[in-house]
Structures are given as structure tokens and as C-alpha cells.
Amino acid sequence: MHPADIKCALEKAGWTLRQLGIHHNLSPSALPRTLAVRWPRVQQIIADTLGLNPWDIWPSRYDNNGNPILLRRGRKRLEKNDSTDSRAKRQGEAR
């Protein structure tokens, strides 16, 4: 669904994104943020309000079994030997 369609459907149900967020003890900006960012808990709140499943609203955010696809963020983990080897190399260069 397009974000404008989601907002329109919520308004037809008598809610704005901000009101729904406050109603569920979330930041007023939490639900509008979900239109652009993956947030399974908040996506479920929106889906429940609309009487839909979250994977029907955001099919690209869920796998074939209806489980959220979580994107991994952060730095790549180094193998234990890799980090000690690079540390030893740096110490050797400094000498």
C-alpha cells in the first residue's frame, strides 16, 4: 500500500497517525515514521486498526510465512584471529 493510502484508510477509521501513536503510549512521531522505516510492532498496530495483516500492507517487509524481514545494521564482525592479526600488524608498523 502507498503511504497516502494507509493514512487515508486510518482517517476513514477515525484516526490520524499521531492520535494512534499517542493512544498506544508511543511517541507522536512513531507511527508516521513507520511509513518509511521497518518497525514490526508499530506496523502491527496500524494493521490491527485497519483490520488487515501487516504483510498485506507492507508485502516487501515480510517473508512468505508472514514473519518480518529484519535488516541487519552495523559493522561487520571480525573473526577473532583477524582482529588480533591486524592489531599486531599495526603495532609492528609503529615500531
pLDDT score for 70: 79
Q: Cβ(49)–Cβ(13) under 8 Å?
A: yes
DSSP symbol at 52? S
Q: Which of 1, 2, 20 is CA-nearest to residue 10?
A: 20
- pTM, whole model, 2 decimals? 0.69
Kindly report the average pLDDT of the chain as a whole number. 82
Task: Note the CATH architecture for domain 3-71.
Answer: Orthogonal Bundle (1.10)
- Which of 12-16, 61-65, 67-71 has the least mean pLDDT? 67-71
Residue 57 grid cell? 500492507
Domain residue limits, the chain:
3-71
Query: Does residue 78 carry a pLDDT above 60?
Result: no
What pLDDT, in 10s, does the model give residues 21-53? Answer: 999 999 888 888 888 888 899 999 999 999 999
